[in-house]
Chain A
Amino acid sequence: MRIVKLKQDRLNSFLEAVSTDSELWGPVKKGADKHRFKIVDNPAEFDLDYTRTILPPKKIFLPPRFNMFKAMPTAYEEETMDPTKKILFGVHPCDIHGILIMDQFYTQTYNDPYYIRSRENTIILGHSCWPDEHCLCHSTGTDVANEGYDLFFTALNDEYLVWIGSSKGDDLVRIVPELFNEDLSDRDIQNYIRWREDRSKAFKAEINFKAMPDFMELKYRDAVWENLSHACLACGSCSNVCPTCTCYNVNDKPRLSENASDIARCWDACTLESYSEVAGGENFRESRSERLKLYYTHKLQAFISKYGKPACVGCGRCAATCPVGINVKTVAGALDGEEVDAFWSRYATEVTK
């Protein structure tokens, strides 16, 4: 892969130059300490000193709600997705891996044309990051991205090492070649290696993902699931924020003015009570524990068994989001037999006492 250098104070000139005919998305501060991916007019609005956004980039490819068709009495008209080209800047390795998992999911067996179209219209510019206490990407093997981006910016001192990951990325660099420096010195390489080593040591949270498929199988009826379910609010937040959660629902919304409907697709979550309900009010997963088991079967077992990697990219959003401390770390810890210091486990011991 070709690697070039860019002075950090030239980043905004670069982003401006390449986004003249595209929407420019990236991390922007929200409130005191949160971030979200947002369209900006000016790259100066970006705040690159962030760990994770509230929602992962999936919201840009498949918004929480959009129309798939206009249904009419004898015809179905496909809604064309927003055709604007997008540049998504500042994506961390875990989220790039999340996008790779979605790429695979939405093109396997059947294509999802809505995802594919907006994905193909989006350029991914990755950015390096530093872990906090929730980041698990070292355990999931997603702390570094070797594919899935067009350019990747690693910040070192006052410069960026820029990995050119695709032909599209190369085109962007060639729009303003004068901003880049081709000469990578031995020192740059040494700096990078040291930075990687330091970063590897900075991870505080680890999970033994390799053991999880076994543990999920052995502990499928363990009391831990009941304990979790007492605390779970069935709010669905853990699904909304997870980069690998893709479930959705479909609704037929009749139009008022004509004999037609909008067929709307919206995010759904397996932790919600209505998820597995069928006719006559029968529900295949009435209890919260059954629904949590489904969520964690997906994250910790099914994907590992099928594809050799977990359906968790270690972004830590579930940990930062769940109001009662149910997240991939505490659940895996409990399955691993650890004493877990989370609200749900304290709640469980108090309730069962």
Chain B
Amino acid sequence: MNGTEKIINQVNPYKPEPARIVRAYDLTDDVRFFQVRFADMDLALSFKYEAGQFAMISVLGAGEAPFSISSTPSRPGLLEFCIRKTGVVTDAIFRLKENDFIGVRGPYGTGFPIEMMKGRDILFVMGGLGAAPLRSVLLYCLDDRDHFGRISVLHGAKRPAEMIFRDEFLHLKKRSDLDCYLSVDKDDTGEWTENTGVVTTLFPKVKTIVPENTAAVVCGPPIMYKFVINELIKLNIPKDQILMTLERRMKCGVGKCGHCAIDYIYTCIDGPVFTYWDVLHMRELI
């Protein structure tokens, strides 16, 4: 047999590795935070990944699904996920408790292009569960702060109770080396002291943008992309410096099952991180 490209993984790439849930707590009504550690100590310490990559998580009796890794590779040892309860696999994950086991395999997909981002100003725009993958790259930038220019974060949620990592972001606001802006569509608590309005209402607050030296990192529900991309284009940020992640059905994560295909592209190995320029050329998405 004549393989043509570099073979990344010599062992069985479909085989999950047992991992222990070491911490689990609710972030919102239907999103829970999971900190997990591979049972195999060597693997736990040697597991390398990039910000923006995802892993396949399996639960005995329920199946397997892809989830973004929310922790940063700059802090090895534990993997973190935030998972929304929506169906068979995620319901089963929610039934698990600390010290229970899941299966994890990965990491898969392209991470964010950190080398391209280095030296530039970074503008993060996230909504809803979009904070799950973006937290990884944000923490990565903060752990390596000197290598990035100005960092601005726009984070939106429907209501204060639905803001993922709300306390973590409120805490970030205290830092002087980044500008963090939070917004909720609607405040139903009467205690929200940050902005109210959709995430795009935060754009006027952002300090001067030097478009050609800015990388925008966007993740959120489909409806958010449309409005946010409009704003970014208005700011003249080049299309290939607007980074986003796409979600598709995924059964393998390694370019074999076909489910994540968009035109010629396999979201799992060619993505999930794409530039807006890439996305513009996907016929199925236009």
Q: A109-B269, A220-B283, A249-B257 are in contact. Are A259 and B60 (CB under 8 A)?
A: yes
Q: B87 on the interface (CB 8 Å rule)? A: yes
Q: B10 on the interface (CB 8 Å rule)? A: yes
Which of chain B's residues have a CB closer than 8 A to the CB of A105? Answer: 256
Which of chain B's residues have a CB closer than 8 A to the CB of A302? Answer: 263-264
Binds B, one of A64-72, A125-133, A181-189, A343-351: A64-72
8 Å CB interface, A87-125 against B: 103-113, 116, 119-120
A-to-B contact residues, CB < 8 Å: 68-69, 71-76, 78, 103-113, 116, 119-120, 217, 220, 246-252, 254, 259-261, 263, 268, 270, 275-280, 284-285, 290, 293-294, 297-298, 301-302, 305-306
Q: B248 on the interface (CB 8 Å rule)? A: yes
Identify whether the interface residues of A are mostly helix, strand, loop, or mixed.
mixed
Count residues on chain B whose CB falls below 8 Å from chain A CBs: 47
Which of chain B's residues have a CB closer than 8 A to the CB of A103? Answer: 1-3
Q: B119 on the interface (CB 8 Å rule)? A: no
Tell which of A248, A251, A252 touches B258, judged by Cβ atoms closer than 8 Å. Answer: A248
Which of chain A's residues have a CB closer than 8 A to the CB of B176? Answer: none
Q: B123 on the interface (CB 8 Å rule)? A: no
B-to-A contact residues, CB < 8 Å: 1-18, 39, 58, 60-64, 86-87, 90, 101, 103, 247-249, 251-252, 254-259, 261, 263-264, 269, 283-284
A268 & B257 in contact (Cβ 8 Å cutoff): yes
Which of chain A's residues have a CB closer than 8 A to the CB of B16? Answer: 69, 71, 76
Which of chain B's residues have a CB closer than 8 A to the CB of A290? Answer: 284
B15 & A104 in contact (Cβ 8 Å cutoff): no
Q: A261-B60, A278-B249, A305-B264 are in contact. Are A250 and B257 (CB under 8 A)?
A: yes
Whole-angstrom CA separation of A254 from B252 in the bound complex: 20
Instruction: Identify the closest chain A residue to B7 (Cβ).
Output: A111
Shortest Cβ distance from residue B61 to the other chain A in the assembled complex, whole angstroms: 5
Which of chain A's residues have a CB closer than 8 A to the CB of B7? Answer: 107-111
Which of chain A's residues have a CB closer than 8 A to the CB of B247? Answer: 278
The interface centre, meaning the residue of A76, A103, A260, A293 with most chain B CB atoms within 10 A of its CB, is A76
Whole-angstrom CA separation of A49 from B86 in the bound complex: 54
Tell which of B5, B259, B283 touches A276, judged by Cβ atoms closer than 8 Å. Answer: B259
B60 & A72 in contact (Cβ 8 Å cutoff): yes
A74 & B39 in contact (Cβ 8 Å cutoff): yes
Shortest Cβ distance from residue A250 to the other chain B in the assembled complex, whole angstroms: 5
A250 & B284 in contact (Cβ 8 Å cutoff): no
Which of chain B's residues have a CB closer than 8 A to the CB of A246? Answer: 256, 258
Instruction: Identify the closest chain B residue to A277 (Cβ).
Output: B249
Whole-angstrom CA separation of A228 from B95 in the bound complex: 45
Chain A to chain B contacts (Cβ below 8 Å), 22 pairs: A69-B15, A69-B16, A71-B58, A74-B39, A104-B2, A104-B4, A106-B256, A109-B5, A109-B7, A110-B256, A110-B269, A217-B283, A252-B58, A254-B60, A254-B61, A268-B257, A275-B249, A279-B87, A279-B90, A284-B248, A284-B284, A298-B261
B60 & A109 in contact (Cβ 8 Å cutoff): no
Instruction: Identify the closest chain A residue to B269 (Cβ).
Output: A109
Shortest Cβ distance from residue A195 to the other chain B in the assembled complex, whole angstroms: 29
Whole-angstrom CA separation of A72 from B10 in the bound complex: 23
Other contacts beyond A104-B2, A275-B259: 6, CB < 8 A: A69-B14, A72-B60, A73-B101, A111-B7, A270-B258, A293-B284
